[in-house]
Amino acid sequence: MPSRPSKTSPEPSPSGFEVTRDLPPGRHPLLAAFPGLGGLGAAKRLVPDSADRRKLFDETCVEIVTDDVWMYVAPHSIPKNVPRRWKPHVSPGSDCIVIGEGHLRESPAIILYLDIYHELCHVLQRKAGQELFNRSEDYVHRPTEVAAYRFAVEEARRLGASDAFLRDYLKVEWVSDDDLLELFKAVGVDPASS
């Protein structure tokens, strides 16, 4: 689950990225929340085959919740060994990205852009048989997280994002400062001044 909005000055979101900020809580098609998302360059880089890309964007939904969360892929069932404080929304048999209502309504567009593609990486990883909620590895060492953050960082760099912005974007409350430095290294972000 990516971070809260950056404290540094937000970078511009890409041309063509739209957010429907007034969707009510509940389940919606992905493209109702983010119209045109599947036609952006990032979508083509994520899924080069047009038929596969169309299927991903048509079959993935979002669930807007009033919980104080950002985004995560809803598990198909409650994962083993999850922290007791986390009560994830589940989506048996379908790919659904949970989005906190406050995040959707208030976060800068660039943050939502990076977050939604991060989560779409996870949807594809799960479709490929990878375990998203593997608690045997630290968060910053999970191959699924590193790959999803790497994709988001590459997209941010395409938009001209600075390392200061990326350091702030990658900082999440459940990752220690030492682990955060490892994540910076794994995704190619300069750790200077952090």
Binned at pLDDT 50, 70 and 90, residue 136 comes out as: confident
What pLDDT digit, counting tens, does each position of 110-130 carry?
999 999 999 999 999 999 999
Q: With respect to residue 1, please indicate whether it lies within any of the assigned structural domains.
A: no
Q: With respect to residue 34, please indicate whether it lies within any of the assigned structural domains.
A: yes
Q: With respect to residue 89, please indicate whether it lies within any of the assigned structural domains.
A: yes
Greater confidence, 137 or 63?
A: 63
What pLDDT digit, counting tens, does each position of 89-103 carry?
889 989 999 999 999
pTM of the model: 0.89
Number of domains in the chain: 1
**pLDDT score at 177:** 77
Q: With respect to residue 55, please indicate whether it lies within any of the assigned structural domains.
A: yes
Q: Quote the domain boundaries for residue 36.
A: 26-187
**71-73 vs 96-100, strand pairing mode:** antiparallel
**pLDDT score at 4:** 45
Q: With respect to residue 193, please indicate whether it lies within any of the assigned structural domains.
A: no
Contacts of 31 (CB under 8 A, 6+ apart): 37, 38, 57, 58
Q: With respect to residue 6, please indicate whether it lies within any of the assigned structural domains.
A: no
Nearest alpha carbon to residue 89 among 103, 78, 104 = 78
Nearest alpha carbon to residue 62 among 98, 93, 17, 115 = 98
Is the pLDDT score of 3 beyond 60? Answer: no
Classify residue 116 as left (phi > 0), alpha (psi -120 to 50) or beta.
alpha
Q: With respect to residue 21, please indicate whether it lies within any of the assigned structural domains.
A: no
Average confidence (pLDDT) over 147-175: 89
Q: With respect to residue 183, please indicate whether it lies within any of the assigned structural domains.
A: yes
Is the pLDDT score of 1 beyond 50? Answer: no
